[in-house]
């Protein structure tokens, strides 16, 4: 099978979407597929618009059995998608619709319309599937292929961290507005956190203005035991999970939330917002959920969890149980490949007039 995979931006960034893409493309190659990754430009709308004509002349759909388009690349691909579909089936990989994730305007939705006409659309959650249906995509064209939850070790092969009496909270996320990092810092500093520490892991420079606001909030509470790690290796991230007692990420929107699944695998109680697919992912007993943007509620939940070792222990056991119920990357890869085979077979039948 010859596969074109079109995405945009820096694919080395440590985001759930790029991780998913890398995992499934590696699995396709292991199974004998010929995969050509096509990355024509950066992710910004301006860069995509500028590169659109070049992509149209450089990508020949007849060279491939199927073309997979990351929803991030909807602008650069938009002028060509209907033409490509005349020659080769197109599968849209929708980690999240950008218009939904960024609360975009109607013009953003218009840019996504050609993508929504793809032969198949892969969503990473039932919630994402419902969004696509609300946008008019027929249910039979949508397949849910959830991310795996075994991207990191579960801590069993990591040297046990040195423990003291400090209760350690961990957040793993980019510093962008919808991840709620500033809400978290404000909630953390709203009360005195004696005997507790918060560690922030993840890319800090995706939105410089937002990052500046986060750093000011941290500096204004210099005694609040907040440490900033920035991006780290997989090994360092695994060690951070293993050393933590609580995972907290008050994201206002997630397409899925791979870091939540990773936290569950380490048996961490989770604090999150009651939004999108997050409750579905976390289950009923491993997490405490708050409304998005509610700093007071978030602070109160932190009070409860940081101060109650028995509650943390019960939620930790529930987290490990929930983690065992989640898919593994092998299942994800098999599901993704199954969708590609499905549309290729369908296209072949049409070509034969069947």
Give the tens place of pLDDT for each residue, 19-44.
899 999 999 999 999 999 999 999 88
Q: What percent of the chain has a predicted confidence (pLDDT) above 90?
A: 77
Mean pLDDT of the 69-80 span:
93
Mean pLDDT of 230-242: 92
Domain co-membership, 80 together with 95: yes
Same domain, 333 and 321: no
For residues 339 and 92, the answer to whether their CB atoms sit within 8 Å is no
pLDDT tens, residue by residue, 183-212: 999 999 999 898 999 999 999 988 999 999
pLDDT of residue 142: 97
Q: Of 164 and 317, which is predicted with more confidence?
A: 317
What pLDDT digit, counting tens, does each position of 86-130 carry?
999 999 999 988 888 765 544 577 889 999 999 999 999 999 999
Domain holding 229, by residue range, is 167-325
Burial class (CB in 10 A: 0-12, 13-18, 19+), 47: middle
| CA proximity to 312, closest of 269, 267, 250 | 269
Same-domain pairing of 278 and 347 = no
User: Would 160 be classed as within a structural domain?
Assistant: no
Q: Are residues 75 and 219 in the same domain?
A: no
Shared-domain flag, residues 98 and 117 = yes
What would the two tokens of residue 77 be? 């691909």
> CB–CB of 40/54 below 8 Å?
yes
| 136-169 residue pLDDT tens | 999 999 999 999 887 665 555 555 666 678 999 9
Cβ neighbours, 10 Å, residue 66: 24
| Per-residue pLDDT at 293 | 95
Residue 348 pLDDT: 85
Q: Does residue 251 surpass a pLDDT of 80?
A: yes
Regarding whether 125 and 177 lie in a shared domain, the answer is: no
Using CA atoms, how far apart are residues 82 and 84, in angstroms rounded to an integer? 5
Q: How far apart are CA 281 and CA 298, in angstroms?
A: 19
Number of domains observed in the structure of the chain? 2
Is residue 11 assigned to a domain?
yes
Would you state the pLDDT for residue 105? Answer: 47
Whether 269 and 295 map to the same domain: the answer is yes
162, part of any domain: no
CATH of the domain at 70: 3.40.50.2000
Q: Residue 78 gets which letter from DSSP?
A: T
Determine the pLDDT at residue 154: 55
* 188 and 291 inside one domain: yes
Residues 81 and 28 in one domain: yes
Q: According to the model, what pLDDT value does residue 160 have?
A: 60
| Percent share of the chain, pLDDT over 70 | 94
Whether residue 279 is contained in a domain is answered as: yes
pTM more than 0.95: no
Does a structural domain hold residue 161? no
Could you tell me if residue 186 is inside a domain?
yes
Indicate if 11 and 112 belong to the same structural domain: yes
Assess whether 15 and 138 both reside in one domain: yes
The verdict on 293 and 343 lying in the same domain is: no
CA distances from 13 to 55, 150, 200, 270 (A): 23, 19, 17, 24
Residue 88 lies in a domain: yes
Q: Choose between 220 and 271: higher pLDDT.
A: 271
CB 190 within 8 A of CB 299: yes
- Torsion angle, CA of 46/212/256/196, rounded to 10 degrees? 170
């Amino acid at each position: 099978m010859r596969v074109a995979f079109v995405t945009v931006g820096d694919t080395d960034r440590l985001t759930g979407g790029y991780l998913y893409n890398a995992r499934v493309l590696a699995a396709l190659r292991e199974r004998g597929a010929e995969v050509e990754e096509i990355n024509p430009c950066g992710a910004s709308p301006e860069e995509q618009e500028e590169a659109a004509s070049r992509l149209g002349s450089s990508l020949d759909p007849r060279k491939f059995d199927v073309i997979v388009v990351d929803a991030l690349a909807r602008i650069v691909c938009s002028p060509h998608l209907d033409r490509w579909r005349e020659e080769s089936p197109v599968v849209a990989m929708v980690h999240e619709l950008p218009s939904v994730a960024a609360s975009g305007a109607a013009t953003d939705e218009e840019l996504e319309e050609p993508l929504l006409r793809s032969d198949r659309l892969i969503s990473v959650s039932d919630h994402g599937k419902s969004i696509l249906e609300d946008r008019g995509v027929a249910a039979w064209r949508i397949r849910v292929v959830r991310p795996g939850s075994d991207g990191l070790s579960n801590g069993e092969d990591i040297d046990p961290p040195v423990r003291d009496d400090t209760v350690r909270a961990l957040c793993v996320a980019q510093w962008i507005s919808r991840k709620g990092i500033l809400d978290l810092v404000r909630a953390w500093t709203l009360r005195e956190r004696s005997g507790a520490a918060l560690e922030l892991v993840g890319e800090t420079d995706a939105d410089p203005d937002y990052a500046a606001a986060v750093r000011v909030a941290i500096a204004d509470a210099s005694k609040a035991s907040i440490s900033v790690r920035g991006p780290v290796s997989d090994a360092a991230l695994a060690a951070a999970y293993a050393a933590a007692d609580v995972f907290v990420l008050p994201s206002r929107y997630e397409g899925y939330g791979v870091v939540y699944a990773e936290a569950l695998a380490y048996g961490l109680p989770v604090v999150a917002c009651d939004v999108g697919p997050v409750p579905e992912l976390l289950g009923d007993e491993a997490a405490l959920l708050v409304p998005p943007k509610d700093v007071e509620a978030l602070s109160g939940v932190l009070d409860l969890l940081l101060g109650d070792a028995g509650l943390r222990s019960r939620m930790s056991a529930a987290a490990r149980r929930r983690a065992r119920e989640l898919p593994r990357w092998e299942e994800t890869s098999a599901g993704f490949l199954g969708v590609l085979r499905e549309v290729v077979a369908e296209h072949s039948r049409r070509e034969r007039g069947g």
